[in-house]
A and B are shown apart, each in its own frame.
Chain A
Amino acid sequence: MNKNLKGFLYLLPALLFLSVFMIYPLIDVLIYSFEEGYNFASQTYKGIGLYNYFYVLRDPYFIQALKNTFIIVIITVPVSTGLALVIAYLLSLIKPLRDFFQTVYFLPYVTNTLAVGLVFMILFKKTPYSDGLINVLINAFGGSSVDFIDGPYAAKMFVMCFYTIWVVLPFKILILTSALASVDPNYYKAAKVDGTGSFRIFFRITLPMISPMIFYLIITGFIGAFKAYSDEVALFGTDLNSAGMNTIVGYIYDMLYGDSGGYPSYAAAAALILFIIVLTITCINLLISKRKY
């Protein structure tokens, strides 16, 4: 059989699926975003232009979603990366129970975010029957009860970030643990012989050696946090706009489907705005990491 034909036949299924569900949509989403006044039912539109982008950028729900997403990104990426670094470093110092801790720390990765989010909601929620466990703890330390799920914005944002960090930490701990294990022990031996203190060893040897991995985690962390959505649904329910906790991705889906849905053009414009933001931030990250190392 002809090699070209054979290669094509083996690739046919993948090419088929990729064209229908990836390449065509990519072009289509661009077209959608420029079609003004698109009607989903009759599949007609009034004109071509930038109106969809202006509409989205002026929509107060989008501004709220943008603000929420940026807060989540700015808080969770540095905190989770730092925390993962501390935990992975401490793990590398011990022998007994190390496997046990590693297994436990990885558990959130394999659990359903929607399901465990419900547990977090119950722990933090204040109901007529009970203030919830977290509030009982706060009371025990002399504070007063706060409703973290339906209460003030800062409280909701706190639970949101806490849950996000809880969810993303397993991946980061895993990556940093294997990065730490791959540092050549000879460097440590040489430093020990020279009588270098452990702080100095950490900042002068360990950190520079694993810095590529840290940058990898920061970049993937930024991308992941900008796409935050399911964790929000898990805590605050599907009507994120009324909870004031929507994210950019949530805004896209709300525009597409559900009670406020039926506007694929607005959804497409919002999706492209998100893509541009993520692309810009990733490029900036790459530039910084190149310059430093």
Chain B
Amino acid sequence: MEEKNSYTINEKNYRTVKLVKNIFIYLILGLWAIIVLFPFYWMLLTSVKSYSAYNSEYIPSFFTTSPTFQNYIDAFSAVPLGRYFINTIIFTLFTTLIMLIVIVLSAYAFARIDFKGRSVLFAFFLSLMMIPNELVIITNFVTITDLDMRNTYMGLILPSVTSVFYIYLLKENFEQIPEELYKAAKVDGTSDLKYLLKVMLPISKPTVVTVVILKVIECWNSYVWPRLITDDPDYFLVSNGIQEIRENGFGRENIPAMMAAVVVVSVPLIVIFLIFRDKIMEGVSRGGTKG
């Protein structure tokens, strides 16, 4: 009888310990979630506060009773935010598209065409992955300036269209497709290009999609190269636009309008992320590092 009692007490103790432990875990995780989410909440909140309301709050309030969309109108009319947007979309689309063509062709050559010196060349490509961008950007800046391509889309796009890492990723994927398919296609007289487009690409679609999404994120957030290569606001991308708005737009103190611009810039990627969450997280864990 006594033994049974001590057992139930232990069981009870165990449960309380577990409960306390769980509360503790959720508390810490919740705290970090708040730290992550708070800046997003704050930018949304500030972007709907009116200019006068914002500036009269010595102690910022955590909510607003009279939201206004005036700041969003200002963001598009007082500074060429729309223009920055279109530029970024053009830049992202073309960079991604040209990159796809370049990397698909190379990955195919490395995976299926048995040319002389293939493995040596591939090793050389891999070794290029170690070269930091900062080392080559100086000459690229000079090259693009000499080619008279500053403040053009070409100048923005061309240096960003190859990625050795994505060639590697795609090549690995192509190699997993059974070679018998290739041989059968050859017997049927299918050309390499047709085989690549009709068989290889559809099978490798998940990897291609991952690459595209990662590249789109990279393009949307790119700042350093566009800043070097453009000083004409007509060719600014959103990152440079945000920086320009911060230093010259709206007059320095119109923070609500600034936040409206920040919301507009941040929303597209957040939407893409929420749609493709699993693909993005899988792709990033397979080899994306930020920056």
Contact = CB atoms under 8 A, between A and B. Distances in A.
B204 interface: no
Nearest to B34: A104
A174 B290 CA distance: 13
Interface in A121-155: 122-123, 127, 129-133, 136
B177 interface: no
B154 to A, nearest CB: 13
B55 A220 contact: no
Contacts of B159: 21
Contacts of B143: 20-21, 25
Contacts of B220: 112
Interface residues of A, number: 86
A7 interface: yes
Interface stretch (B2-10, B36-44, B182-190): B36-44
Given A168-B290, A264-B142, A105 B105 contact: no
A224 B290 contact: yes
Contacts of A12: 105
Interface in B266-291: 266, 269-270, 272-274, 277, 280-281, 284-285, 288-291
Interface in B1-38: 22, 25-26, 28-29, 32-33, 35-37
B113 A6 contact: yes
B60 interface: yes
Interface string A99-131: 001111111111111111011101100010111
A230 B239 CA distance: 10
B290 A167 contact: yes
B270 A136 contact: no
B165 interface: no
Interface in B225-263: 227-228, 238-239, 242-243, 246-247, 253, 255, 258-259, 261-262
A256 to B, nearest CB: 6
Interface residues of B, number: 90
B290 A171 contact: yes
A41 B159 CA distance: 23
A207 interface: no
B199 interface: no
Given A26-B136, A29-B135, A130-B59, A114 B243 contact: yes
A8 B265 CA distance: 41
A105 B143 CA distance: 40
B139 interface: yes
Contacts of A29: 135-136, 138-139
B94 interface: no
Given A14-B103, A18-B162, A119-B42, A237 B138 contact: no
B25 A227 contact: no
A17 B125 CA distance: 12
B186 to A, nearest CB: 12
Contacts of B202: none
Contact of A10 (B25, B60, B105): B105
Given A14-B103, A112-B220, A114-B243, A8 B29 contact: no
A287 interface: no
Interface of B: 22, 25-26, 28-29, 32-33, 35-37, 39-40, 42-43, 46, 55, 57-60, 101-103, 105-106, 108-110, 113-116, 118, 121, 125, 128, 131-132, 134-143, 158-159, 161-162, 164, 167, 192, 217, 220-221, 223-224, 227-228, 238-239, 242-243, 246-247, 253, 255, 258-259, 261-262, 265-266, 269-270, 272-274, 277, 280-281, 284-285, 288-291
Interface of A: 3-4, 6-8, 10-14, 17-18, 20-26, 28-29, 32, 86-87, 90-91, 93-94, 97, 101-116, 118-120, 122-123, 127, 129-133, 136, 166-168, 171, 174-175, 178, 220, 223-224, 227, 229-230, 233, 237-238, 249, 252-253, 256-257, 264, 267-268, 271-272, 274-275, 278
